[in-house]
Amino acid sequence: MYSELLLSATKSLSLIRGKEVHAHIIKACFTPCMFLQNVLLNMYCKCGDMSLAQRLFDTMPTRDTVSWNSLITGYSQVGVCRKSLDVFNEARSVHIKLDHFTYASALSVCSRNRDLKMGKVIHGMVLVSGFYQRVFLTNSLIDMYSKCGGISDASLVFDSSSELDDVSWNSMISAYVRIGWDEETLRTFAKMARLGIKLNPFALGSVLKSCSSLSNSVILGKMVHGCIIKVGLDSNVFAGSAMIDLYAKNDRLSEAAMVFNSVPDPNVVVFNSMIAGFSRLETDGNNEHNYDAVCLFSEMQRRGMRSSKFTFSSVLRACNFPDGFELGKQIHGQIFKNNLKHDEYIGSALIEMYSSSGSIEEGFKCFHSVPKQDIVTWTSMISGCVQVDHFERALSLFHDLLSIGIKPDHFTLSCLMSACANLAVARSGEQIQCYAIKVGFNWFTIINNSQIFMYARSGDVDAANQTFQEMENRDVVSWSAMISSHAQHGCASDALMLFKEMEGCKVSPNQVTLLGVLTACSHGGLVDEGLRYFERMKVDYDLDPNAKHCACIVDLFGRSGRLVDAEKFILDSGFHDDPVLWRALLGSCRVHKDTEMGTHAAERIMELEPHAPASYVLLYNMYLDAGRKSFAMRARDLMKERGVKKEPGLSWIEIGASVHSFVAGDNSHPESHAIYDKLEEMLSKIEKMGYIKMEALEINGSSPKQTGGFVNHHSEKLAVALGMIRLPQLAPIRVMKNLRVCVDCHTAMKLFSESEKREIVLRDPFRFHRFRGGSCSCGDYW
């Protein structure tokens, strides 16, 4: 009777009921036999009260193997691995005859503690004891070796065993999956199937996970899918969720949906896999799949299913479509109702949702509301700041992260390098690169790709190329970043040569790669090559051109003076309502002084973007270059009538650990007297070389008298003057500007590079200009 009550308490993990039975035994002065004492000891161990278990064990007059096994397993289950091994060694010292359960418990402790050395010692004991042929112990040994990193030893145990069951095969497959040996996983699975070993859904799920990592994952996945149907597990929720995940990761959402619909009673895990599949897929401007993810979430609510943190995080990432932000806020309310607002996993998804919608302050509120801020939460916040162009804030967060002792991962460092790239602060980027090397992240492809982007955006194409050449594992992002880097710096031949090398390495290009190639052709004036690559996009690579690709073709036509062809291409491209294409045409009209077509292009842009100042400024400059000042003034008046304000020009230069920024006519710098003296000296030199100072015209309501000095004291000229003073003679002067460089500054920079015998690199939002010996990498076309 006592034993039955204790077994019931053990099964339900009811410590109170177990103690009541124990109290009754003591009160009744009943002397329990060895069996009852072991049942009582097992109850305390299973319920996790090891202090009472130890006291009972110490008072037992006699103990058998079962008593020792219970205590060893009890300490292992509550995570006190060292004490568990001490009990094991004590059992050996008092010459207790250990059985296969004792050794299995000890091996389980080694697995938990990742103690390979002790695991090998116990393996030796198993061999000496003669239990090595027991399949139960074979499985424990495979599990111990695989979890302790001894995969070769696990394979040896598996191959040398004369008796294996389905658990042995499944354990071996799980071991291969754990360390990423995907091909070995599939070989073991194939052998298992040939021998007719029973397949379980967990093994099949592990195999499908391996398929996802291989190049021919869909073909292999379909083969495993066939096996799943053959053994009748296609309706199993575990196998079903694994199949959905495989198909979704390979953009096969129709197949994933078919699997989802074939599961008769999908649980939360199956729904989560399908929602994650929809929200994971990135499509150009197509929000259909994100909407499907939200609809699935609504279906879960309708069925009364309790959403998990994985459900909420996936559906929040899908809320990036029109009206999706409002739905995201409603889902945030659901998170509050389910008391999951403090979960760090959901917190990261909320930060991403608010940041992608431009509500960075709401993102910060979510960040501060998470009590346990792990590295994923910090990375999400840093990434959100980068996404909304709060680059200085992202770097400040990084310093906060380090100050509280949290170690960044490679994704964090990649985001920070992106911030440095956009700020063009190579010095800060180099410090983050050094940190990555110090902690061993420099071999991650994502870190190397970010380095290439950071150096390229900072104007140091040589450092970007060195990073690329030193990479061991280049992916399509690596190639695309380096091709774009060469293209932006006016090195068209280098970009096209690299693209041919990429094709030779059998790396399939993506849309970003082809945009880099077309940009190279555009900046290099390679019209025929550019048109040929544009045609190859669809024919050879099955890639649909987007508006940016088409803008490159407009620019190509414009460079060759074929403005009529450029306009016809815009009208036939399918992107005639995109201002990017018309802006490219307007730029070409300015270069070729075709004011009639330029006016038409400008009017079209103003229809599409009536409040974008760049279009008015381009039109203003086009008329000014053509000597039609009255038309320029008319463009300026139209800008004033519509309340459009020109963004102030801002330039900055990094010197040492400091970033110095300037606006036109800036007097706030501590060295402003020296800067202006140096600039006047430089201007005096180039005037003797034929430079003519520009006449100032009123813009943004300022009179010519107010702006006259500003024209010759443009922000980039002030930054270059500081660079001339502070940087060594052989160091290139790298200046960044937030607006397109004007004709006057472009001319001045060419002459500065010749008169001062210095290399000047000037980056504006559209391209890099590398000035050397009186010439520019853009070929005077920009």
Other beta carbons within 10 Å of 164: 19
Q: Identify the three-state secondary structure at position 770.
A: strand
Q: Residue 328 has what pLDDT?
A: 87
pLDDT over threshold 80, residue 283:
no
What residue type is 451 in one-letter code?
Q
**Pseudo-torsion of CA 739, 782, 510, 255, nearest 10°?**
60
**Highest-pLDDT range among 231-245, 716-730, 763-777:** 716-730
pLDDT over threshold 90, residue 451:
yes
Average pLDDT over residues 42-70: 85
Q: Identify the three-state secondary structure at position 645.
A: coil
Q: Find all residues with CB under 8 Å of 135, minimum gap 6, and list them.
A: 161, 163, 164, 165, 167, 168
Q: 199-203, 586-590, 731-735 — which is least confidently predicted? A: 199-203
Q: Residue 709 has what pLDDT?
A: 47
**pLDDT by residue (tens digit) across 356-376?**
888 899 999 999 988 888 899
DSSP string, 692-729: -PPPP--BTTB-HHHHHHHHHT-HHHHHHHHHHHHS-T
pLDDT over threshold 60, residue 340:
yes
Q: Residue 384 has what pLDDT?
A: 93
**pLDDT by residue (tens digit) across 402-424?**
999 888 999 999 999 999 988 88
Q: Residue 66 has what pLDDT?
A: 86
Nearest to 507 by CA among 464, 478, 549: 478
Average pLDDT, the chain: 84
- Where does the pLDDT of residue 464 fall: very low under 50, low under 70, confident under 90, or very high at 90 and above? very high
Q: Residue 571 has what pLDDT?
A: 93
Average pLDDT over residues 463-485: 92
Number of continuous H segments (helices) and E segments (strands) in the chain: 42, 6
**pLDDT by residue (tens digit) across 725-760?**
999 998 999 999 988 888 788 889 999 999 999 999
List the structure tokens of 428.
């800060």
What residue type is 385 in one-letter code?
C
495 vs 490: CA distance, rounded Å: 9
363 vs 368: CA distance, rounded Å: 9
Q: Identify the three-state secondary structure at position 391.
A: helix
Q: Residue 287 has what pLDDT?
A: 63
463 vs 648: CA distance, rounded Å: 31
270 vs 242: CA distance, rounded Å: 9
SS3 helix, strand, coil % of the chain, rounded to 5? Answer: 70, 5, 30
- Greater confidence (399 vs 646) lies with 399
Q: Identify the three-state secondary structure at position 571.
A: helix
What residue type is 440 in one-letter code?
G
Q: 3-7, 257-261, 367-371 — which is least confidently predicted? A: 3-7
Nearest to 615 by CA among 659, 654, 579: 579
Task: List the beta strands (DSSP E) in 511-586.
Answer: none
Q: Are 427 and 463 in contact (CB under 8 A)?
A: no
Q: Residue 697 has what pLDDT?
A: 42
- Greater confidence (615 vs 711) lies with 615
User: What is the percent of the chain where pLDDT is above 70?
Assistant: 95
- Where does the pLDDT of residue 704 fall: very low under 50, low under 70, confident under 90, or very high at 90 and above? very low
658 has which bridge partners? 655
Instruction: Round the CA-based radius of gyration of the chain to a whole number and report it.
Output: 35
Q: Residue 694 has what pLDDT?
A: 58
Nearest to 283 by CA among 256, 241, 320, 254: 320
Q: Identify the three-state secondary structure at position 652.
A: strand
Q: Identify the three-state secondary structure at position 14.
A: coil
Element (H, E) at 593: none
Q: Phi and psi (nearest 5°) for 769?
A: -120, 115
What residue type is 280 in one-letter code?
R
151 vs 143: CA distance, rounded Å: 10
- Greater confidence (656 vs 553) lies with 553
Q: Residue 308 has what pLDDT?
A: 87
Average pLDDT over residues 125-131: 80
Average pLDDT over residues 172-192: 80
Element (H, E) at 499: helix 492-504
List the structure tokens of 128.
């000496």
197-209: b (≥16 Cβ within 10 Å) or e = bebbbebbbbbbb
- Where does the pLDDT of residue 712 fall: very low under 50, low under 70, confident under 90, or very high at 90 and above? low
Q: Find all residues with CB under 8 Å of 316, minimum gap 6, and list them.
A: 328, 331, 332, 346, 349, 350, 352, 353
- Where does the pLDDT of residue 700 fall: very low under 50, low under 70, confident under 90, or very high at 90 and above? very low
From residue 157, alpha-carbon distances to 138, 398, 495, 700, 779 in Å are 7, 47, 53, 80, 68
14 vs 308: CA distance, rounded Å: 27
Task: List the beta strands (DSSP E) in 333-463.
Answer: none
763 has which bridge partners? 736, 768
- Greater confidence (492 vs 13) lies with 492
